[in-house]
Amino acid sequence: MQKTFEITISGQVQGVGFRPFVYSLSKQFQLRGSVCNNQDGVLIHINASEEKATNFLVQLLENAPSISIIQSHKISEIPFQEFDGFKIIPSEAKHQTNIPLTPDFSICESCKAEIRDKSNRRYGYAFTTCTNCGPRFAATTKFPFERSNTTVSAFKMCATCQSEYINPDDRRFHSQTNGCPDCGIQLKLQDYDGRQFDGDHKELVKKTSDFIRKGSILALKNTNGYLLCCDANNKSAIERLREKKQRPAKPFALLYPSLERIKKDFNLSATEENALTSSVAPIVILNPKKSIPDLEQDGIAPGLNQFGVMLPSSALLTVLMDELGTPIIATSGNVHGSPIISKESEAIQKLSGVADYFLHHDLEVTFPQDDSVFRFTDEHQITLRRSRGLAPNFLNMTPSGNEKILAMGAHLKSTFTFVPNSHTYMSPYLGNLDSYDVSERFQNSIGQFEKLFQTQPEVILIDAHPQYQSSILGRELAEKWNAEYISIQHHKAHFASVLGEHDLFDSKEKILGLVWDGTGFGEDNMIWGGESFTYQNHEMERLIHFEYYDWLAADKMAKEPRLSFLSILPNAEKEIARKKFSETEWKVYLKMLENNPLKTSSVGRLFDAVASLLGIIDVTSYEGEAAMLLENQARMYVGNDEVDFLAGVVFENIPTKTIIQNIHQAMVDGFSIPRIANSFIHTLARVIFNIAKQHNFSCIACSGGVFQNAVLIEKLIKLAENSGIKLKFNRILSSNDENISFGQLSYYQHIKK
Amino acid sequence: MPKLDFDVITLGHGSGGVLTNRLLDSGVFDLLKNDILDERHDGAFLELHGKTAFSTDSFLVSPIFFPGGNIGELAVNGTVNDLAMCGATPKYLSLSFIIEEGLPVKEFWDILVAIKFACEKAGVQIVTGDTKVVEKGKGDKIFVNTSGVGPIHPKANIRVKNISVGDKIIISGNVASHGMAIMSVREGLEFGSEIKSDTTNLNHTILRLIELFGESIHLLTDPTRGGVATVLKEIAQSSEIGIDLFQRDFPMDEQVASACELLGLDPLYVANEGLFIAFVSESVADAVLTALQEDENGQNARIIGSVVAEHPKQVIMESAIGGKRVISMLPGEQLPRIC
Ligand SMILES: [Fe+3]
Ligand SMILES: [Mg+2]
Ligand SMILES: [Zn+2]
Ligand SMILES: [Zn+2]
């Protein structure tokens, strides 16, 4: 008997080709009815027997578009209605939105095939997209995801595109970003002086690739913002880029033309391959095969043995890399700590001193995003930066209650998390808030979210550090919106982020939280950074920390590993560090150490100290450099004779100075640097398990920037095998301060006050 | 120094009785002698006409003697400069001491002498005062308070609300010297060579500028506690204007710069004493700068920024290597923020 059923599908179901998919499935089932987007996701009405409706739903859930994410579905019978055929109903203009925003998707294989096909009308068209791929969040102006609510609406579809758009049998049926060379987004190639070059997409891309081949620096506008590019095998081009970007040593990412080419140069696991070719198309940190002949390795990642590699995420990058055929450097288009640039005028103003040529296009980017960055140890994913392809949703968590909350995050790796409805929205990584431009982008993004959801927060969560720009801003916003503001300790927020990511707040057993990072403002006004907590029954308490040592010279200590080294060395042994300082520095620092009130338990600085002690680096040029170089040394160790530098040491708080003393002894004893570096990380892994055993924990949750260290993670996973102890890490979120905003939210919602 | 039968100051010296008189009679009155003070009445009889500025400040500094000065001249210069920042000619000061028992008389005397010379240099008179002594542990050697009055110069029109978009911001000299001098002695830090406090009176310099440029000088301020950054941020917030600064234009003594660098301190937050910041009309900025540079207190003067319509209430500094930084007020010590 014919009945009418209503099906609601929620999750990431808009802007992913869901309605066309439902349409074609209904044709297969020969159903009459309708489909539309609404405030909860996708709403379907069908006339069918109960059995057919059930089958339809099963098929629908099983074969949903690969880039969609279904969080929940509902089916119910409603009063009978007669439908005439099957219709896609356009979205209602005004309603309260309660759905995830759609992230950007990297170019799909079908679109790639088309732009490579000489006979296809999109041959070489640099903005080819379909219902399965293309920019979404980057071009969003309003809810829900309809062409009129994106900046693509500035381009009027030509008759051919329009006919694709309305043809249910076309793969671009209802493709909101549809366009072609005749009606779509245009490229503009200029030199730094503004002189423009003529040609169609194919010709302009060819010229661009010639410039790169000849050693020029290109500022290229991808669909998520500008990239700075140059030949990855041209030493002087890379040096010039480093000099102009004022980035002396921080590694550059590589853009490769094809997976095959990546496989030729790197050892690639299946997990890594999956990530590279996923709709996120992130930068993945890879291990190279012995040597890569046509890559300027020292210039790309000085002192490191791993490289960040990605595949073209857009049609533009695909045509360019097809043309080039060799890897290039592709780094975010910005200068010195500013956010990624996405406006043509700003690019010209700020990058004219850097780039020789500009490849602009005329699609307005509303939410610029950096490329996301991952690394893997076996199956385990370490997120280094969560941005394009992932932001702005956090689908793992349904907020409890209906308070509207804004969490402001930290300072150096800023993000914010907004809860305007029953979803959690997490901004992409926005950068260091010291920078005015980042701070502006941060504020504007909050404003954009406020507009998108047409709602203001009632509660604002900030870090307990009074001088974080995000804390200052949070207090200002609280005043402006008449919201309550609440400050949350940095490391507790880190811990809460893992608990939230793994939904562990209702865990029956107690959980050990290890939060190791560079710095965070502690509850005792000291600089925390080597913390362990115990979590049980919605309460969190500090348990054990690294023994305090002196924090010297404000932010300078984080930039100069030699200062951490000097600080941690026991008084009687400070002489060891003397040669790293000038006469004046030596006198001044020793004097300052005499009655320095500010102490720290930072593990990040302990890594710095060890790096300095081992002669790896004394003064860094980018954040995390010492830890990366140290990890690189540790990775070079091939033996299996690691030393536990705290073996036999009985301690309450972890004896920072003993570790340094014993490492120094190992150096005196002639141990190799890789072995010591490896043993140091081994020691830290052992410390974690010793604490767990000593205090009877069977679940450990780790967070903080230190847990981006792949060697440490590998060792922990190995130690956990057959130990009965479960390990939890940040996975979708980065373990560094990017997760603070989400952690603040989790803490606020789940920890008893 | 007068001959006395005691060499440290005790509680009795603040009682107002015989001992107090012996301390004061022994030379304070003599040293600071002037007609008004000599009346020795409960208060001073002053003749003031027209618009008058009135300011007060208390001085606590440790150590009380430091390279380039001591707490005494700091106390005179501080109030003299505050009056000058109002566009006033400082005339009369009050002077009060809170002394912790045990202060050597010799040190007290040295402070008094410094006060005398600072007054002479600034052209002001101490006309009334007070002395109290507190128990050991209830003070820190000596606290000094000065208050002062002086008539506003007829050409002066100094108000935060006079600041307008386009104004140039001029700094009269090197930043951070005072704070670093204090810190180096307090912490016992030996830098390459000695860093001296910049404490001095600025009234002559400022009145000359007012004489020359009058209403074109919109605002004057001395970036003492909290440094240049804090003062400018306060102005931006209260007047709702935006300020753009250029780091490369900040004059700084090389020694001070390297000491700040060494300690990881941002010189913009370090205290100054003999320094002022002027907001002036764009049209006279270069002329003010030239005039200032001819003055002994302005040889290192520089234009460090301007008032802009963008980003109201915010102070933004373009760094020497490009990139812009948000300048905020520091509620306390500079704490590390890098994770
Ligand atoms: Fe952190
Ligand atoms: Mg004052
Ligand atoms: Zn596609
Ligand atoms: Zn078209």
- Tens-digit pLDDT profile for residues A481-536: 999 999 999 999 999 999 999 999 999 999 999 999 999 999 999 999 999 999 99
Q: Are both B194 and B145 inside the same structural domain?
A: no
Q: Are both B97 and B179 inside the same structural domain?
A: no
Q: What ipTM was reported for this prediction?
A: 0.89
Where does a domain end: A62, A88, A114? A88
Kindly indicate the confidence band of residue A722, based on its pLDDT and cuts at 50, 70 and 90.
confident
Where does a domain end: A471, A488, A505? A488
Given a contact cutoff of 8 angstroms between Cβ atoms, the answer to whether B159 and B218 are in contact is yes
Q: Are both A595 and A649 inside the same structural domain?
A: yes
Task: Name the amino acid, one letter, at A333.
Answer: G
Hey, is the C-beta of B260 within 8 angstroms of any chain A C-beta? no
Which ligand is nearest to the Cα of residue B80, counting in written order?
A: 2
Given a contact cutoff of 8 angstroms between Cβ atoms, the answer to whether A627 and A607 are in contact is yes
Q: Which tens digits make up the pLDDT trace of A674-706?
A: 999 999 999 999 999 999 999 999 999 999 999
Nearest residue of B to residue A434, measured between CA atoms: B325
Q: Are both A564 and A669 inside the same structural domain?
A: yes
Owning domain of residue A195: 188-361
Hey, is the C-beta of B193 within 8 angstroms of any chain A C-beta? no
Rounded CA separation A522/A465 (Å):
8
CA A414 – ligand 1 centroid, Å: 11
The pLDDT score that the predictor gives to residue A389 is 95
Q: Which tens digits make up the pLDDT trace of A152-165?
A: 999 999 999 999 99
Nearest residue of A to residue B263, measured between CA atoms: A553
The pLDDT score that the predictor gives to residue A645 is 98
Nearest residue of B to residue A740, measured between CA atoms: B339
> Which residue stretches of chain B have pLDDT < 70?
1-4, 14-21, 26, 331-332, 338-339
Q: Which tens digits make up the pLDDT trace of A277-287?
A: 999 999 999 99
Q: Which tens digits make up the pLDDT trace of A89-122?
A: 877 666 667 788 899 999 999 999 999 999 999 9
Q: Are both B139 and B16 inside the same structural domain?
A: yes
DSSP letters for A635-670: HT---S----TTTT---SSB-HHHHHHHHHHHHHTT
Does residue A540 lie within any of the structural domains? no
Does residue A538 lie within any of the structural domains? no
- For residue A612, give the 3-state DSSP assignment: helix
Q: What is the DSSP letter of B28?
A: I
Kindly indicate the confidence band of residue A58, based on its pLDDT and cuts at 50, 70 and 90.
very high
CATH code (residue A732): 3.30.420.40
Does residue B68 lie within any of the structural domains? yes
Does residue A401 lie within any of the structural domains? yes
Q: Which helix (H) or strand (E) holds B220?
A: strand B217-221
The pLDDT score that the predictor gives to residue B38 is 85
Residue A751 has pLDDT above 90, yes or no: yes
Q: Are both B172 and B134 inside the same structural domain?
A: no
Task: Please give the share of chain A, as a percent, with pLDDT higher than 70.
Answer: 99
The pLDDT score that the predictor gives to residue B9 is 87
Q: Which residues in chain B have Cβ-Cβ distances shorter than 8 Å to A553?
A: 262-265
CATH code (residue B319): 3.90.650.10
Does residue B3 lie within any of the structural domains? no
User: How many other CB atoms are found less than 10 A from the CB of residue A260?
Assistant: 8
Parallel/antiparallel/unpaired status of strands B168-171 and B302-308: antiparallel
Hey, is the C-beta of B320 within 8 angstroms of any chain A C-beta? no
Q: Note the pTM of the prediction, 2 decimals.
A: 0.94
Q: Are both B44 and B170 inside the same structural domain?
A: no
CATH code (residue A206): 3.90.870.10
Ramachandran assignment for A431, one of left (phi > 0), alpha (psi -120 to 50 degrees), beta (any other): left
Where does a domain end: B129, B151, B173? B151
Q: Are both A259 and A345 inside the same structural domain?
A: yes
What's the whole-number mean pLDDT along residues A118-147?
A: 94
Q: Are both A341 and A197 inside the same structural domain?
A: yes
Does residue B335 lie within any of the structural domains? no
Does residue A103 lie within any of the structural domains? no
Ramachandran assignment for A615, one of left (phi > 0), alpha (psi -120 to 50 degrees), beta (any other): left
Q: Are both B312 and B208 inside the same structural domain?
A: yes
CATH code (residue A31): 3.30.70.100
Which ligand is nearest to the Cα of residue A128, counting in written order?
A: 3
Cis status, amide bond into A392, omega within 30 of 0: yes
Nearest residue of B to residue A597, measured between CA atoms: B333
Measure Cα distances from A137 to A15, A104, A130, A450 in Å. 10, 6, 15, 15
Hey, is the C-beta of B188 within 8 angstroms of any chain A C-beta? yes
Q: Which helix (H) or strand (E) holds B93?
A: strand B92-100
Task: Name the amino acid, one letter, at B291.
Answer: A
Q: Are both A698 and A585 inside the same structural domain?
A: yes
The pLDDT score that the predictor gives to residue A142 is 87
Rounded CA separation A342/A715 (Å):
41
Q: Are both B307 and B168 inside the same structural domain?
A: yes
Rounded CA separation B167/B219 (Å):
10
Report how many domains make up chain B.
2
What is the distance in angstroms between the Cα of A518 and the nearest Cα belonging to chain B? 4
Tally of residues, chain A: 753
What is the distance in angstroms between the Cα of A608 and the nearest Cα belonging to chain B? 12
A310 Cβ contact partners less than 8 Å away, ≥ 6 residues apart: A253, A254, A255, A256, A276, A281, A282, A283, A284, A330, A371
Does residue A16 lie within any of the structural domains? yes
End-to-end CA distance of chain B: 56
The pLDDT score that the predictor gives to residue A99 is 82
Which residues of A carry out catalysis? 19, 37
Q: Are both A477 and A561 inside the same structural domain?
A: no
Q: Are both B138 and B164 inside the same structural domain?
A: no
Query: In this structure, what are the phi and psi dihedrals at residue A558, rounded to the nearest 5 degrees?
Result: -75, -15
Q: Are both B182 and B298 inside the same structural domain?
A: yes
What is the distance in angstroms between the Cα of A284 and the nearest Cα belonging to chain B? 23
The residues that bridge with A37 in the sheet, in sequence order, are A42
Q: Are both A424 and A355 inside the same structural domain?
A: no
Beta-strand ranges (E) seen in A369-440 are 373-377, 380-385, 393-394, 405-407, 417-419, 424-426
Asked if the Cβ–Cβ distance from B262 to A435 is below 8 Å, we say no
CA A163 – ligand 4 centroid, Å: 9
Report how many domains make up chain A.
4
Q: Are both A245 and A357 inside the same structural domain?
A: yes
Asked if the Cβ–Cβ distance from A559 to B338 is below 8 Å, we say yes
Q: Are both B293 and B176 inside the same structural domain?
A: yes
Where does a domain end: A470, A488, A506? A488
Asked if the Cβ–Cβ distance from B263 to A585 is below 8 Å, we say no
Q: Are both A596 and A720 inside the same structural domain?
A: yes
Does residue A338 lie within any of the structural domains? yes
Q: Residues 381..410 of A with a Cβ closer than 8 Å to B: which?
A: 410
CATH code (residue A460): 3.30.420.360
Of A135, A146, A178, nearest to A160 (Cα)? A178
Q: Which residues in chain B have Cβ-Cβ distances shorter than 8 Å to A433?
A: 326
Q: Are both B130 and B242 inside the same structural domain?
A: no
Nearest residue of B to residue A464, measured between CA atoms: B337
Given a contact cutoff of 8 angstroms between Cβ atoms, the answer to whether A441 and A339 are in contact is yes
Residue B137 is encoded by which pair of tokens? 């542990």
Q: Which tens digits make up the pLDDT trace of A206-262?
A: 999 999 999 999 999 999 999 999 999 999 999 999 999 989 999 999 999 999 999
What is the distance in angstroms between the Cα of B167 and the nearest Cα belonging to chain A? 21
Q: Are both B188 and B313 inside the same structural domain?
A: yes
Q: CA-based angle B209:B210:B212, to the nearest 5?
A: 65
Task: Name the amino acid, one letter, at A448.
Answer: Q
Rounded CA separation B155/B92 (Å):
21
Interface probe for A, chosen from B262, B313, B339 (most Cβ of A below 10 Å), is B339
Given a contact cutoff of 8 angstroms between Cβ atoms, the answer to whether A561 and A629 are in contact is no
Does residue A630 lie within any of the structural domains? yes
Q: Are both A330 and A433 inside the same structural domain?
A: no
Whole-number average pLDDT of chain A:
94
Q: Which tens digits make up the pLDDT trace of A340-358?
A: 999 999 999 999 999 999 9
Rounded CA separation A509/A724 (Å):
13
Which ligand is nearest to the Cα of residue B54, counting in written order?
A: 2
Does residue A366 lie within any of the structural domains? no
Does residue B339 lie within any of the structural domains? no
Q: Are both A345 and A402 inside the same structural domain?
A: no
CA A222 – ligand 4 centroid, Å: 20
In Å, how far from its chain's centre is CA B144? 14
The residues that bridge with B131 in the sheet, in sequence order, are B97
Where does a domain end: B131, B151, B171? B151
- For residue A126, give the 3-state DSSP assignment: coil
Asked if the Cβ–Cβ distance from A336 to B335 is below 8 Å, we say no
Asked if the Cβ–Cβ distance from B326 to A587 is below 8 Å, we say no
Does residue B332 lie within any of the structural domains? no
Owning domain of residue B135: 8-151
The pLDDT score that the predictor gives to residue B197 is 94
What is the distance in angstroms between the Cα of A501 and the nearest Cα belonging to chain B? 21
Rounded CA separation A654/A662 (Å):
14
Q: Are both A354 and A481 inside the same structural domain?
A: no
Residue B17 is encoded by which pair of tokens? 């009785």
CATH code (residue B136): 3.30.1330.10
Where does a domain end: B125, B151, B177? B151
- For residue B59, give the 3-state DSSP assignment: strand
The residues that bridge with B77 in the sheet, in sequence order, are none
What's the whole-number mean pLDDT along residues A580-590?
A: 95
